[in-house]
Structure 1
Amino acid sequence: MRVAVTGATGKLGRSVTRGLRGAGHLVLELDQHGERGPEFLRIDLRDYGQVVDALMGVDDRSDGFDAVVHLAAIPAPGIHADVATFSNNMMSTYNVFQACRRAGIKRVVYASSETVQGLPFDVDPPYIPVDEEYAARPESTYSLVKHLEEQLAIELTRWDPELSITALRFSNVMDPEDYAAFPSFDADATLRKWNLWGYIDGRDGAQAVLRALESAGPGFDRFLIAAADTVMSRSSADLAAEVFPGVEMVREVGQHETLLSIDKARRVLGFDPQHSWRDHL
């Protein structure tokens, strides 16, 4: 496929572009930052004219795309003022989705976020492991935008039954060089309780994108995307019992099994995370 990737020079974006190219797809990187070259286009996604023009085709680069992977965003709460986060992320996503519709691009995969599950879980989750079945619980402006983006995708795919939009609720993205810090988390179970001790290796994040591009059908769907294990050496059941003693464990979990359920992603997309921090230490 010919795939445009927004936010291609970001932490997850770098892994995704490598993974897509490794699978044989042609990729054009769209971002505000990056090195000039035949596979990169500098673009401001807040400007709808630039977005729709780029997706319709770029002289000497592309005559259009089969799919778009939208990863660009202010990546977390607390980096910019709330209104700046809302304005940048919401407008960029609307522009990308709308430009895809105008350009006739029917396959979109984009970065939603684990934060819509209720992070940082100052209010207990309804049950553990958490999954996509309970209503979104945004607790920050960043998370609110991610929730609204999903609602936007629901309506756009209702308007166009041939359109496929897949929201991947990525956990905290990590690269191998980040893993040296993981043993320090064991000192205090509350240090990483904010996302139920979850993470996702960037290479497995790329795998999830590839699986969604290849297998997602028309309409909208959402998937939690996390590593198969937690960031902790302690057992997952013990962590949940200590930090969330009043929360029901709805099923038994493995010794270090993620508490961000990836069962749906495994079942529907064929997602199968291959990388763990435990293999690097």
Structure 2
Amino acid sequence: MRIAVTGSSGTLGTATVARLRDGGHDVVGFDLAGPAGPGFTRVDLADYGQTLDALLGVTARHDGVDALVHLAAIPVNGLVPDVTTFHANLTASFNTLFAALRAGVRTVVHASSITAMGFPFAQPPPYLPLDEDVTAASNTYGLVKVLEETMAGQFARWDDALSITALRFTNLVAPGGYDTFARAGDPAYRRDLLGSYVDVRDAAMAVALALDAARPGAAVYNVAAADTGLSIPSAELARRWFPGVTVRKPLAGFESLVAIDRAREHLGYAPAHDWRTEYAAAQAVR
């Protein structure tokens, strides 16, 4: 399958391109910067004409794609003014998803976020573990993610052959990026993330699984590690962080407070990396 990946030079984009190529796919990356060569084309997603043309074909690169993975975005609030984050990210996502619709690309996976569930949770979540039924935005980055998911659902109504899967990624951790887990015993650590994290290799795996499992319609899945990033049991974290919030099932050990049951069931998602192993390995080589 030939797959276009926007944001191909970012942390998740790089891991995703590698994963898809390892799976035997022909991948073309679209980004503002990237490695020169047949696997990359510079595309400004703020320009709808460029975006549509790039999906339809690029001389010496491809003559059409079978699927699209949309990861490109200003990655967090604070890098630019809030209004800039909103306009840039929403414009890029509209241009990309609408261009895919017009170009006849019927399999789309796009990056949503824990920010579409209420991060950083100044208001307590309605229940724990938190699943995909909850949608709430607390900043402009999260507001765009909520609007992207809504837009994807509407586009899927317009074409009953279209499959659009939103993956709500939590905090991505790259190999070699586990140093902060030295704070795992601190009850304030990762509270705004409900304790969650996900190794970027598992996040890339989720993208590949979502492409394989694509079915017509719009779907949303949480993507997190199976455990929290803390050495404090999850039941205790829930009591400390959110007293009075309903815990809808017994919390075993350090299990994630961001529910990944749907991704497990529908995509076959089984995260392979955990912070304890990665952190211990990093310490062992020092």
| TM-score normalised by length of structure 1 | 0.97
Output aligned runs, 1:179-218, within 5 Å: 179-187=178-186, 189-218=187-216
Quote the residue 1:110 is aligned against.
110
Paired residue for 1:51? 51
Instruction: Give the match's secondary structure for 1:186.
Output: coil
Count of equivalent residues: 279
Instruction: Find the residue that maps to 1:223 and give its secondary structure.
Output: strand
Compute the displacement of 1:80 (Å).
1.0
* AA aligned opposite 1:153: A
Q: Which residue of 1 aligns with 2:234?
A: 236
Q: Give the distance between the partners of 2:253 and 2:189, measured in 1 at CA.
A: 19
How far 1:259 moved relative to its partner?
A: 0.5
- Counterpart of 1:172 in structure 2 is 171
Q: Tell me how far apart the structure 2 counterparts of residues 219 and 167 of structure 1 sit (CA, whole Å).
A: 11
Contact map agreement 1:120 1:194 (CA 8 A) in 2 = yes
- Structure 1 runs (4+) deviating above 2 angstroms are none
- Is the CA contact (8 Å cut-off) linking 1:176 and 1:277 kept in structure 2? no
Give per-residue Cα distances to partners, 1:35-62, cap 9 Å, x unaligned: 2111111110000010110100110110
Aligned to 2:85: 85
Question: Residue type matched to 2:101 in 1?
Answer: R
Aligned counterparts of 1:208 and 1:34: Cα–Cα separation in 2: 23
Task: Report the Cα distance in structure 1 between the residues aligned to 2:148 and 2:127, rounded to whole angstroms.
Answer: 24
Residue identity in the other structure for 2:171:
N
Mapped to 2, the partners of 1:88 and 1:2 lie a distance apart of 27
Cα separation, 2, equivalents of 1:242 and 1:102: 49
Q: CA deviation at 1:180?
A: 2.1
Which residue of 1 is the match for residue 148 of structure 2?
149
Tell me, yes or no, if the aligned pair for 2:183 and 2:189 is still in contact at 8 Å.
Answer: no
**Where do residues 90-105 of structure 1 align in structure 2 (5 Å cutoff)?**
90-105=90-105
2:121: which partner in 1? 121
Match of 2:283 in 1: none
**Contact 2:206–2:269, Cα closer than 8 Å, also in 1:** yes
User: 1:191 Cα shift?
Assistant: 3.0
Shift, 1:186, TM fit: 2.0
Amino acid at match of 1:23: G
Q: Would the aligned equivalents of 1:29 and 1:40 in 2 still touch at CA under 8 Å?
A: yes
- In the other structure, the counterpart of 1:30 is 30
State the 1:101 CA deviation.
Answer: 1.1
The reply to whether residue 247 of structure 1 matches residue 245 of structure 2 is: yes
SS in 1 for 2:168: strand
Equivalent in 260, 270, 273 of residue 258 of structure 2:
260
3-state DSSP class of the match of 2:218?
A: strand
Conservation of the 8 A alpha-carbon contact between 1:183 and 1:233: no
Q: Structure 1: any 5+ residue segments left out of the alignment? A: none
> How many Å separate the matches in 2 of 1:183 and 1:261?
24
The residue number in structure 2 matching 1:64 is 64
Q: Is the Cα–Cα contact under 8 Å of residues 198 and 230 in structure 1 kept in the other structure?
A: yes
Q: What code does the residue aligned with 1:137 have?
A: A
Aligned residues of 2:70 and 2:110 also touching (Cα < 8 A): yes
Task: Quote the offset at 1:31 in angstroms.
Answer: 0.4
Partner of 2:139: 140
Counterpart residue identity of residue 212, structure 1:
A
Q: State the one-letter code of the partner of 1:45.
A: L
CA contact 1:76–1:142 (8 Å) conserved in 2? yes
Which residue in 1 is equivalent to 2:39?
A: 39
- Choose which of 247, 261, 270 in structure 2 pairs with 1:272: 270
State the distance in 2 between where 1:8 and 1:71 align.
7
Q: For residue 250 of structure 1, what is the amino acid of its counterpart? A: R
Q: Secondary structure at the match of 1:80?
A: coil
In 2, Cα distance between equivalents of 1:74 and 1:186:
31
Supply the distance in 2 between the matched residues of 1:278 and 1:267 (Cα, whole angstroms). Answer: 25
Identity %: 48
Aligned AA (1:59): T
